[in-house]
Amino acid sequence: MSAAGGAPVIETRALSRRFGSVTAVDALDLEVEAGEIFGCLGPNGSGKSTLMRVLLGLLAPSQGSARVLGLEMPRAAERLRPRVGYMPQHFSLYEDLTVQENLEFAGQVFGLSRRRREQRLEAVIETHALRRYVDTRAAALSGGWQQRLALAVATIHEPELLVLDEPTAGVDPQSRREFWEHLFDLTATGATIFVSTHYMDEAVRCHRLCLLRSGRRVAVGSPQKLVDQLRNRVVDLSVDEPDQAIAALRDVPLVASTTQLGDTVHVLLASDAPAADAAAAELVSRLSSAGIRGATARPTAANLEDVFVSLLLGDGPEEQA
Amino acid sequence: MSAEVRPVALGALVRIGAVARKELRQLLRDRVTLALMVGIPALQLVLFGYAIDVDVRHVPTAVLDRSQSAESRKLLGELRATQTFDLEREVGDEREALRLLEASEVGAVVVIPPDFARQFHRGRGAIVSILADASDPTVSRAIALSSEGFAQRLAQRMLTISQAPGARLVRAPEQDLVRPDPVRIEVLPLYNPERRTAVFVVPGLIGVILTMTMMLFTALAIVRERERGTFEFLIATPVRRGEVMLGKILPYLFVGFLQVGIVLALGVLLFDVPIRGPLWQLAVGALPFLAAMLSMGLLVSSVSRSQLQATQLSFFFFLPSMLLSGFMFPFEAMPRVAQAIGECLPLTHFLRIVRGIVLKGAGLDSLVGEIGAIGLFFAVAFVLAAITFRKRLA
């Protein structure tokens, strides 16, 4: 792997990309290390797809720089191509070609020799269990199988870097789990993966995450580190009527957001609220003064969704970059 | 990476081949498009061809026989035998003849000069004029053709008759230039000097069909990739810009030649279109035109956001091509401005090439100027397409 030896696989400096008056990526500094699965999280329109396109040299940056596998983008984009695999957000293979033909086409345009192409085709068909569908047109595959095929195509040339834009959107949990197992297999062979997702269960599995809001980096770190930043900020309330409790807490200043989980109300505290122990007691007294009795409150560990929500609210552990 | 090293040029060829093969596969599976590619030439040929029926007979004809001789009566008898002319009435002077023509009461007037018999026997070339109402080009053309046949038949009877210069599609035999003829039939097409029939239309149709299909299908092939999102996958691969362009063009070049073949074959089968020039010359002459149209397709694709836009833009180019190239209206009869625009359209020049080769048996060497004009158009279109065709998004 050429990326070995500590040099980051992806390195951006004050990277910006504007479309007219809209700034899709805003002064972004980012480093992705070799061999990691680096997740990119953020609401729709936060600039994830634009960032990926700039990293791949498909869009030119408006300002700043992006180096990928040591190559300056977009100047050296053509030299980058054989070394990366890309799954765009929407299924973007040829629906009127069969599985086999799509794979062959990819093998040819990625410049594999005939012998190596045959080997790789065989390998990815085996890996992704595509054997019985080789002669099926891509259009006839279900979402999960299309996504397998897309990954097979994106990895046919054994890229050093894989860029996956919401690869599992709309795919069932079983397929998503298998997909992620393949991703870990790929990192085991030394590949680096840059992936965006909306699924928290997937985000948790990344080595490191970057959270974007309006094109700005609001947090970077391992899932554990991000969750730790919300220590003492989450309280679970057990109440008989959760919906009434949520209504009662709506305008309470120390509450940032509430989520109902069955009979439990998951409360994310505002950043200026007291620590969870103290806040728990106050929440219970607030509820009883609103006529809701018998509630019990208990400080609990934050999850990634809390991190995500707190960042969306602009109320999270914002870094001072 | 364990990629085996391979020469750069070979890699490019493999990638171009991959794109071309993929394109051809998709084309073969797109039944509607495929049907259009074969169907458009066939349908247009039949529509245009049969709308103009070559086999015109029994044209009502007036006779102005100023000779009133045995020779003139023999000539009229021969004319009647052709069945092209129904010699319905005699007229006394030319004014009456023109009135009948203008009123469309007759389609032609045969004028035999007073000294016909004398000139005939002297071998000085007695001139018989046929005034033809060419406002209906079909009729006029049929008369010209018939007169040609008539002249040949008379020639067999030791009467050599040549075509007048008005019948420009028929080459005069060489000896006519050397020796004066006993009788000349002069067809004067009135009202519409350019006479056209299926024979004339079919070669032109090749150009019209290629203009429409080549440009549109190339444009659609690329815009479709953009619309379906496959373009984003494609441009993230090592395929280079020029390779995508060439790979997209090649299958359609093949389709283009196929269409030329279909139109020519049907033209010969259904309308007896004579192919006077060698086919290889036509192939050579068609190549720059095909390339020009395909480049236009690339250009259209790079400025179109959707298939609908690409279709509209193609049509925007197609319409003036059809109207101002001399396909629909005689080029010489068009206003100067229209001619100037027409000269900028590759179809105008291609029509001259294809008509020259197919109808007149003209050699490529005499058409260098036309080929050069198309080549220039191709160069400009291709460079513009190469500039605007980006391997980037937005």
Option in A111, A115, A153 nearest B238 (CB): A111
Rounded to whole angstroms, the Cα distance separating B154 from A177 reads: 92
Instruction: Report, as an integer, the average pLDDT of A53-62.
Output: 92
Specify the pLDDT at position B6: 52
Per-residue pLDDT tens over the stretch B112-146:
888 877 777 766 566 777 877 665 565 666 676 66
- State how far the alpha carbon of A197 is from the alpha carbons of A110, A187, A202, B268, in Å: 27, 18, 7, 63
The distance of A77 to chain B (nearest Cα, Å) reads: 9
CB contact under 8 A, B393 and A53: yes
Residue pairs spanning A and B at CB distance below 8 A: 90
Specify the pLDDT at position B130: 80
pLDDT at position B4 over 60: no
Specify the pLDDT at position B163: 37
Asked if A82 is an interface residue toward chain B (Cβ–Cβ < 8 A), one would say: yes
Which residues 208-247 in chain A show a CB within 8 A of chain B? none
Residue of A nearest to B224 (CA): A94
Specify the pLDDT at position B332: 66
CB contact under 8 A, B1 and A86: no
pLDDT at position B46 over 70: yes
Q: How many Cα atoms are found within 13 Å in the side-chain-facing hemisphere of B148?
A: 15
Instruction: Report, as an integer, the average pLDDT of B183-195.
Output: 54
Determine if the pTM surpasses 0.80: no
Instruction: Report, as an integer, the average pLDDT of A129-148.
Output: 91
Give the residue among A117, A175, A118 at the shortest CA–CA distance from A148.
Answer: A175
Q: Which residues of B touch A158 (CB under 8 A)?
A: 1-2
Specify the pLDDT at position B180: 42
Specify the pLDDT at position A320: 42
Instruction: Report, as an integer, the average pLDDT of B10-38.
Output: 84
Per-residue pLDDT tens over the stretch A262-282:
888 888 888 787 888 888 888
Provide the ipTM.
Answer: 0.79
* Substitution target from B4, B220, B226, B233 for chain A, most A beta carbons within 10 A: B233
The distance of A29 to chain B (nearest Cα, Å) reads: 23
- A119 CB neighbour count, 10 Å cutoff: 13
B94 or A104: which leads in pLDDT: A104
Asked if A91 is an interface residue toward chain B (Cβ–Cβ < 8 A), one would say: yes
Max alpha carbon distance in chain B (Å)?
Answer: 99
In one letter, which amino acid is B284?
V
The distance of B237 to chain A (nearest Cα, Å) reads: 5
Give the residue among A247, A240, A256, A272 at the shortest CA–CA distance from A305.
Answer: A256
The distance of A111 to chain B (nearest Cα, Å) reads: 6
Specify the pLDDT at position A282: 82
pLDDT at position B197 over 70: no
Instruction: Report, as an integer, the average pLDDT of B282-292.
Output: 91
Asked if A108 is an interface residue toward chain B (Cβ–Cβ < 8 A), one would say: yes
Per-residue pLDDT tens over the stretch B324-360:
888 877 676 677 888 888 899 999 999 888 888 877 7
CB contact under 8 A, B230 and A94: yes
Question: Does a cis peptide bond (omega within 30 degrees of 0) precede residue A74?
Answer: yes
CB contact under 8 A, A111 and B19: no
Q: What angle do CA B313, B392, B28 make, to 5 degrees?
A: 60
Q: Which residues of B touch A108 (CB under 8 A)?
A: 14-15, 17-18
Asked if B354 is an interface residue toward chain A (Cβ–Cβ < 8 A), one would say: no
pLDDT at position A38 over 90: yes
pLDDT at position A311 over 90: no
CB contact under 8 A, A116 and B2: yes
Cβ atoms of residues B184 and B129 within 8 Å: no
* Pairing outcome for strands B183-190 and B126-133: parallel
Specify the pLDDT at position B195: 46
* Substitution target from B230, B235, B241 for chain A, most A beta carbons within 10 A: B230
Specify the pLDDT at position B173: 42
pLDDT at position B157 over 60: no
The segment with the largest mean pLDDT, out of A72-76, A150-154, B65-69, B163-167, is: A150-154
Specify the pLDDT at position B43: 79
Rounded to whole angstroms, the Cα distance separating A175 from B323 reads: 58
Instruction: Report, as an integer, the average pLDDT of A201-215.
Output: 90
The segment with the largest mean pLDDT, out of B162-176, B234-248, B324-338, is: B234-248
Cβ atoms of residues A180 and A167 within 8 Å: no
Specify the pLDDT at position B278: 85
CB contact under 8 A, B392 and A112: no
Asked if A248 is an interface residue toward chain B (Cβ–Cβ < 8 A), one would say: no
Specify the pLDDT at position A134: 92
The distance of B288 to chain A (nearest Cα, Å) reads: 28
Q: Which residues of B touch A58 (CB under 8 A)?
A: 232, 235-236, 392-393
Rounded to whole angstroms, the Cα distance separating A110 from A95 reads: 19
CB contact under 8 A, B229 and A92: yes
pLDDT at position B386 over 60: yes
Asked if B10 is an interface residue toward chain A (Cβ–Cβ < 8 A), one would say: no
CB contact under 8 A, A109 and B25: no
* Substitution target from A108, A112, A162, A189 for chain B, most B beta carbons within 10 A: A108
pLDDT at position B167 over 50: no
CB contact under 8 A, B234 and A109: yes
A82 CB-near residues (< 8 Å, 6+ apart):
A110, A111, A157, B1, B3, B238
CB contact under 8 A, B237 and A112: no
pLDDT at position B81 over 80: no
Residue of A nearest to B243 (CA): A109
Q: Which residues of B touch A95 (CB under 8 A)?
A: 228
- A243 CB neighbour count, 10 Å cutoff: 10
Rounded to whole angstroms, the Cα distance separating A264 from A237 reads: 6
B151 or B133: which leads in pLDDT: B133
Give the residue among B214, B222, B224 at the shortest CA–CA distance from B241.
Answer: B222
The distance of B238 to chain A (nearest Cα, Å) reads: 5
Q: What is the DSSP letter of A111?
A: T
Residue of A nearest to B390 (CA): A58
**How far does Cα B68 stand from its chain's mean position?**
43
Give the residue among A205, A218, A258 at the shortest CA–CA distance from A234.
Answer: A258
Phi-psi region of A42 (alpha: psi -120 to 50; beta: other; left: phi over 0): left
Asked if B31 is an interface residue toward chain A (Cβ–Cβ < 8 A), one would say: no
Q: What angle do CA A39, A44, A45 make, to 5 degrees?
A: 105
Instruction: Report, as an integer, the average pLDDT of A157-161.
Output: 94
Cβ atoms of residues A317 and A219 within 8 Å: yes
Specify the pLDDT at position B50: 66
Give the residue among A95, A82, A304, A292 at the shortest CA–CA distance from A209.
Answer: A304
B47 CB-near residues (< 8 Å, 6+ apart):
none
pLDDT at position B55 over 60: no
